[in-house]
Amino acid sequence: MFRRWFVPIAATITALTFLLSFTIHPAKSQSNALWQVYETSLKSAKYVDLTHAFSPTIPVWQGFGKATFKPAVAGAEIPDYVKVGEEYTYGTHGFIATAYELPTDQYGTQLDPPAHWEEYGATISDLPATFAVRPLVVIDIHEKVAQDPGYHATIDDIKAWEAKHGTIPEGAVVMIRSDWYKKWFTETARFNQKPFPGVKLDALQFLHLERQILFHGHEPLDTDTTPNLEGEAWLLHNHYTQAEGVANLDQVPAAGALVSIGFAKPEGGTGGYARYIAICPPDWQYGVSVLEAPGAPLPKQPHPLRRDANGVLKPTP
């Protein structure tokens, strides 16, 4: 499937390169080359969100507390408009806003920078813009996890993937599919309890030292279940990053997709509230294309937005 999708992209880029060499305005034409890739390939691709929405009720490491969502209030008076401490409302002020009390930057789907464990490590605001888009590899261990919830991905699992799909591309993001994410909302208390799936240390070392990947990701909120979290310790002390709390990997092809990587950028941050989106071939069965969900204008809510008991805005009849 990937080959059918990739070949037209390669052909498009090759043709563009040839035409650009003969154009009268090479600088202008070359600047449009990526737009052509978007029009011919990315616009019809299928996009799958790999990110949990975070709220006060999601799983979190037991050493941290829960988040709080509540209406934002005025921090300063504006004469004839709002008083200090007054809640902003649609009716009175024309808008609303939400105040978030977040107990940690290790919350929800996330991107861990080295500074989370390493005092000489890069913080989240130090990560380069080149993190933006990478090849996506999905190594599937979900059947083994169904038999053994504490199963950890091994080098053999990686080599089995390569036997089917070829060598993992340098600079790729490697996600480990366990289907553990399905417990995020249905078994919140169980989500963080051992046993849960992980990745063995030697497998992480193989991915980074032998395959030179950008980072790996997993569905639980910890890399492994060893007493000292040896995998996470090795990664961050050796100045690598990792993704945690990833979702929907069962809706992404094992090979051939890309991943878009976005994250909040608090200066000096030790964690990143992340957004991962898989970009899959146009004939992939899951996801939506730009043609199906152009994003502007966005759909109107079926009912007015009201806050639930946790302060989360939801359409409410």
- pLDDT (tens digit per residue) in 148-192: 999 999 999 999 999 999 999 999 999 999 999 999 999 998 999
Q: Indicate if the pLDDT at residue 245 is higher than 50.
A: yes
Q: What is the pLDDT of residue 30?
A: 73
The residue ranking higher by pLDDT, 6 or 133, is 133
Task: Round to whole Å and give the CA distance between 209 and 294.
Answer: 40
Whose structure tokens read 């978007």? 38
Burial of 18 (C-beta count, 10 Å sphere; 0-12/13-18/19+): exposed
Whose structure tokens read 């992209």? 9
Residue 29 pLDDT class (50, 70, 90 cuts):
low
* Other Cβ atoms within 10 Å of 262 Cβ, number: 15
Average of per-residue pLDDT across 132-149: 98
Q: What is the pLDDT of residue 20?
A: 42
Q: Is 16 helix (H, G, I), strand (E, B) or coil?
A: helix
* Residues 6+ away with beta carbon under 8 Å from 92: 82
The neighbouring-strand residues paired with 175 are: 138, 217
* Residue 226 to residues 50, 77, 222, Cα–Cα distance (Å): 26, 53, 10
Burial pattern 264-274, b for ≥16 Cβ within 10 A else e, equals eeeeebbbbbb
CATH class belonging to 47-56+106-280: alpha beta
Cβ(306)–Cβ(316) under 8 Å?
yes
pLDDT digits (tens, 9 = 90+) for 31-54: 899 999 999 999 999 999 999 999
Residue 26 pLDDT class (50, 70, 90 cuts):
low
Burial of 218 (C-beta count, 10 Å sphere; 0-12/13-18/19+): buried
* Tokens coding 172: 């790729």
Q: Indicate if the pLDDT at residue 101 is higher than 60.
A: yes
Task: Round to whole Å and give the CA distance between 152 and 218.
Answer: 11
**Average pLDDT, whole number, for the chain?**
93
Residue 86 pLDDT class (50, 70, 90 cuts):
very high
N-terminal to C-terminal alpha carbon distance within the chain: 44
Q: Is 76 helix (H, G, I), strand (E, B) or coil?
A: coil
pLDDT digits (tens, 9 = 90+) for 282-310: 999 999 999 999 999 999 999 999 999 99
Task: Round to whole Å and give the CA distance between 3 and 283.
Answer: 12
Task: Round to whole Å and give the CA distance between 219 and 138.
Answer: 12
Q: Is 169 helix (H, G, I), strand (E, B) or coil?
A: coil
The residue ranking higher by pLDDT, 118 or 4, is 118
